[in-house]
Amino acid sequence: MSLLTPERPEPAPTPPPTAAATSRFDLRRFGLAVAAPALAVVVALAVASIALLVSGSNPLTVYARMLEEGTTLRSALITVNNAVPLYLSGLAVALGFRMGLFNIGVEGQYQLAALLAAAAGAAVVLPGPLHLLFVVLVAMVVGAMWAGVAAVLKTTRGVSEVISTIMLNVIAGGIAAYLLSTYLQERVEGSNNSRTPRLDESARFPNLDPVLRAFGVEPPQGTRLGGFVLVAAVVGVVYWLLVSRSRFGFDLRATGLSPSASVASGVNAKRMTIVTMLMSGAIAGLVGLPQLVGSSYAYGLDFTSGLGFTGIGVALLGRGSPVGVAIGALLFAFLERSSATLQRIDVPTEIYVIMQGSIVLSVVVAYEAVRRIGVAQAERAVRRAVDPEVAA
Amino acid sequence: MTDPSVPVVRLQGITKRVPGVVANRDVELTVRAGEVHAVVGENGAGKSTLMKILYGMQRPDEGTIEINGSPARFRDPGEAIAAGIGMVHQHFMLADNLTVLENVVLGAEPRKGLRLDTDAARTRINDLSDRYGLGVDPDALVEQLGVGDRQRVEILKVLFRGARVLILDEPTAVLVPHEVDELFASLAGLRAEGVSVIFISHKLDEVLRVADAVTVLRQGTTVTTVDPRTVTARQLAELMVGSELPTPETRESTVTSMVELTVEHLTVRSPEGRPVVEDVSLQVHRGEVLGIAGVEGNGQVELVEALLGLRASTGTVRLGDRDISDWSTRERREGGIGYVPEDRHRQGLLLPATLWENRILGHQGRKPARRGLWIDRGAAKADTERIVREYGVRTPGVGVPAFALSGGNQQKLVVGREMSGDPSLLVASHPTRGVDVGAQAQLWDHLREARRSGLAVLLVSADLEELIGLSDTLVVMLRGRLVATLDPASTTPESLGSAMTGATA
């Protein structure tokens, strides 16, 4: 040591990371992950309460009523059924989010996919499960192709996928309306509805009522548990494996976190964009199927619309995690279902739209707030470990 | 004039707690009129925080600021400027398409009625320029000025606003040696006129040449203030680090006869079709460090990115005996090229991701991270722990996000990762930039050790001592071409500096 050097011990070697320290840290991170959506729901309840008060209703009465209505067996089954397409839609959007791609085009992708899958399914005759599989595959391929248009535009011409998918929604709507009024239409006697021919029995997805009964639950009259919830669960597991555990998923997330660093690490950005967009579109293609193969068996003018847009909110709420998206989808479906009763007490059912909207808005803010807390926590943890004196 | 015995700036007991960086603790700084006062310290020692506090960009949690003997409290830079404190940032803030005069008056325009009083401004600028010996032409277009001139315009800008205390943040980082001489001449002019200069630097030779007093910061607090005439650069460095220093001296040569990297007639064009790297040919042998010297912006970035396959180029690149000219970035990296990028935040790390996930980056397709189609998380974590251990990365664990580490520790992680998986060639851009002296020495040791075991290294650096100290061969890059080959043994920073500007080419 030189004379000039004031007394300061050599920097201590880094202590080996202890399991306890790591798991404590992970636990905190988990707590933070849950805090944001919870906070958002609280804020949304507050906003909705103000709206209710302004319109002269007692929020507590309304919420009690919603809770009462929403927790009946009948409502629970409907909530799950309605959550399935929202979940698929949310996953389609979330997959893009993970690599920083904004697929706003789920709406158009699923509409077109459902229409063409309905038409193709009605046009062929295949034995049992093959027929169903065929319909599912057609829907996924059509969804992927339609999303692929945006991917190709982005990689070859640099067109933002936000713009192109929004426009493709409109085009898809136009194409669907045209096809439905011309080639793919089956006239229905005594109805204004245009729709495709009905799918054969072999292309219909069995419902899960027998399973419910096996557990001693009798579905109320006119209600059933759609079988597509199983497909959604499988998609969720595959999504998780793909994003969180596979090499492809690593490239995907790396691209989302830092495009420049992922390119330097050898990720082919264009290929990544195309593959992800195709996969997102394929999931989007499934969104219309619970209805197509589970209840309506045809695509018509009255086919459910708007699921693609609600899916964006669900994906935001779920933050790209399959469990989070599931919770988001169930929450949205629950709000919609439980508010259906409000008409009877003279409260506009649209209150659930206000709630959904404020959840989406406040979740964005809440995630940012929680992210900053997380950043500060991590930095403090490192400082404490590295230099206890400064952290003190 | 003020009483010369009263310091123009006096900071006492300054404490600032900032998440993530070493805060200031009890910092003392006293600057007298007409003094060049150097503030030195490693990166992260708290120099910038201290200057931000003095310049009103941050407010201290504790401590007092006195200007000319009276207490001051700055809420924003505007108030600091009003009190006569000006700052010249490391990165210039000039509008290229305006003249010097327009840049100088911007935001502080002398008016005649509603119009800009150009004549008054010109007179004032000429006055200032003459008085302080800055030699600035008010009517020149900024885009036509060199780096040294731009810096003087920045200084003039600050003086124009009435500054009596000038903060210069690493002013020589962007300058070549003869421009440094000119800057120091200007500082002498300022000093003669009673202006005080606070000179932030970690280039100790320069500090010793120009400063009247040197304050050393370490880990956020003042170590001491010394008289530069009584210390050597080495002693100063030891004060900064708190321990004795290694040097980047080259030892016995380890260069082998086996060529690892061959580049022939490599040309890279800008999007506009202008060649930014032109007809470059070079070879790096196993066990050799080839240093590329050059003022930044002469094609080094493009050359490096072309070698990694990140940029389109023409010509031939061979790794060992394989022609890799048409390989993708991933193929090249898996073929044995390690890459320490110039900007670790942009190209080297996923800041929000954990350390072990960062270990995988660039190694997705290789052991230990890969298990078939899947990521082997356990093996990746274990290997990250190895890097943390071997490279002395200071972190509580491998599960923390990368942004939480200090720059030096991030860089150790990056270098450790790129040395993993037995690369045969390491392309290293500014491997120790923004890294403190202690970490720098460690990184040099690792590079040297790898070179001894046969690694070929292509080293791009702006640190001339690092280049001379580590390289076996030095080439100079100027305007996209290799213009000179030098022997580091007989090269000094000065001779290298003039070669970089084309003086000896």
Instruction: Tell me where in chain B the CATH 3.40.50.300 domain(s) lie.
Output: 9-241, 259-336+422-500
Cite the DSSP H helix spans in B323-376: 329-334, 355-360
Task: Write the residue in A257, A264, A379 that is nearest to B404 by C-beta.
Answer: A379
Q: What are the tokens at B77? A: 């830079």
Within 8 A of A15 by CB-CB distance, chain B residues are 396
Residue B449 neighbours by CB distance under 10 Å: 11
Candidates B330, B394, B405: best to mutate against A (most CBs of A within 10 A) is B394
Asked if B232 has any chain A CB less than 8 Å from its own CB, the reply is no
- A374: Cα separation from own chain's centroid: 24
Position B453 pLDDT exceeds 90: no
Peptide bond into B368 cis (omega under 30): yes
Q: At what angle do helices A106-123 and A307-318 cross, to 10 degrees?
A: 120
Q: Count of CB contacts below 8 A, A vs B?
A: 168
Task: Write the residue in A2, A11, A261 that is nearest to B348 by C-beta.
Answer: A261
Strand (E) or helix (H) holding B483: strand B481-486
- Which range among A165-169, B240-244, B280-284 shows the weakest confidence by mean pLDDT? B240-244
Strand (E) or helix (H) holding B16: strand B9-16
Position B20 pLDDT exceeds 70: no
Asked if B364 has any chain A CB less than 8 Å from its own CB, the reply is yes
Look at B242 and A5 and tell me if their CB atoms are within 8 Å: yes
Provide the CATH number for the domain around residue A207.
1.10.3470
pLDDT, one tens digit per residue, over A75-118 is 999 999 999 999 999 999 999 999 999 999 999 999 999 999 99
Q: What are the C-alpha distances in Å from B492 to residues A85, A291, B187, B207, B498?
A: 70, 78, 25, 18, 10
pLDDT at B243: 60
Contact B241, B442 (CB under 8 A): no
pLDDT band at A387 (very low <50, low <70, confident <90, very high): low
pLDDT at B132: 80
Contact B450, B375 (CB under 8 A): no
Asked if B225 has any chain A CB less than 8 Å from its own CB, the reply is no
Does residue A68 lie within any of the structural domains? no
Name the A residues in 258-297 with CB < 8 Å from any B CB: 258, 260-268
- Which range among A195-199, B250-254, B419-423 shows the weakest confidence by mean pLDDT? B250-254
Strand partners, B337: B425
pLDDT at A194: 81
- Where is pLDDT greater, at B25 or A239? A239
pLDDT at A249: 93
Position B405 pLDDT exceeds 80: yes
Contact B480, B275 (CB under 8 A): yes
Residue in B with minimal Cα distance to A375:
B404
Q: What are the tokens at B156? A: 């003039």
- Rounded to the nearest 5 degrees, what angle is found at the Cα of A179, between the Cα atoms of A175 and A180? 115
pLDDT at A219: 82
Task: Write the residue in A5, A15, A257 that is nearest to B352 by C-beta.
Answer: A257
CATH number of the structural domain B259-336+422-500: 3.40.50.300
First to last CA, chain A: 28
DSSP string, A260-297: HHHHHTT--HHHHHHHHHHHHHHHHHHTTHHHIIIII-
pLDDT, one tens digit per residue, over A195-211 is 888 888 888 888 888 88
Cβ neighbours for A358, distance < 8 A, ≥ 6 positions apart = A43, A44, A47, A48
Position B7 pLDDT exceeds 50: yes
Of A379, A317, A312, nearest to A36 by C-alpha is A317
Position B433 pLDDT exceeds 90: no
pLDDT at A339: 84
**Per-chain mean pLDDT for chain B:** 85
Within 8 A of A10 by CB-CB distance, chain B residues are 243
pLDDT at B503: 57
Rounded Cα distance between B399 and B405, Å, is: 12
Mean pLDDT is highest, among A22-26, A27-31, B323-327, for B323-327
Position A11 pLDDT exceeds 80: no
Of B146, B152, B192, nearest to B168 by C-alpha is B152
Within 8 A of A257 by CB-CB distance, chain B residues are 350-353
pLDDT mean over B23-37: 87
Q: What are the tokens at B45? A: 């020692």
pLDDT at B22: 53
Candidates B361, B381, B390, B420: best to mutate against A (most CBs of A within 10 A) is B361
Within 8 A of A379 by CB-CB distance, chain B residues are 19-20, 403-404
pLDDT, one tens digit per residue, over B177-209 is 778 888 888 888 888 888 899 988 867 778 888
Q: What percent of chain A has pLDDT over 70?
A: 89
Domain that holds residue A305: 85-329
pLDDT mean over A45-55: 88
Look at A263 and B219 and tell me if their CB atoms are within 8 Å: no
pLDDT at B495: 78
Position B159 pLDDT exceeds 80: yes
Does residue A360 lie within any of the structural domains? no
Q: How many domains, in total, are found in chain A?
A: 1
Position A5 pLDDT exceeds 60: no
Does residue A357 lie within any of the structural domains? no
- Where is pLDDT greater, at A216 or B45? A216
Does residue A26 lie within any of the structural domains? no
Q: What percent of chain B has pLDDT over 90?
A: 26
Look at A266 and B405 and tell me if their CB atoms are within 8 Å: no
Look at A266 and B23 and tell me if their CB atoms are within 8 Å: no
pLDDT at B348: 92
Asked if B22 has any chain A CB less than 8 Å from its own CB, the reply is yes
pLDDT band at B1 (very low <50, low <70, confident <90, very high): very low
- Where is pLDDT greater, at B117 or A241? A241
Asked if B367 has any chain A CB less than 8 Å from its own CB, the reply is no
Does residue A24 lie within any of the structural domains? no
Phi and psi at residue B280, to the nearest 5°? -90, 130
pLDDT at A329: 95
pLDDT band at B244 (very low <50, low <70, confident <90, very high): low
pLDDT mean over B239-252: 61
Phi and psi at residue B67, to the nearest 5°? -115, 120
Cβ neighbours for A349, distance < 8 A, ≥ 6 positions apart = A339, A340, A342, A343
Look at B361 and A261 and tell me if their CB atoms are within 8 Å: yes
pLDDT at A246: 92
pLDDT, one tens digit per residue, over B475-484 is 999 888 998 8
pLDDT at B502: 65
Look at A2 and B238 and tell me if their CB atoms are within 8 Å: yes
- Which range among A117-121, A212-216, A310-314 shows the weakest confidence by mean pLDDT? A212-216
Asked if B335 has any chain A CB less than 8 Å from its own CB, the reply is no
Does residue A22 lie within any of the structural domains? no
Q: What are the tokens at B90? A: 């490391």
Look at A10 and B403 and tell me if their CB atoms are within 8 Å: no
Which CATH topology does B9-241 take? Answer: Rossmann fold (3.40.50)
pLDDT, one tens digit per residue, over A258-305 is 999 999 999 998 999 999 999 999 999 999 999 999 888 999 888 999
Position A14 pLDDT exceeds 70: no
pLDDT at A7: 41
Contact B74, B56 (CB under 8 A): yes
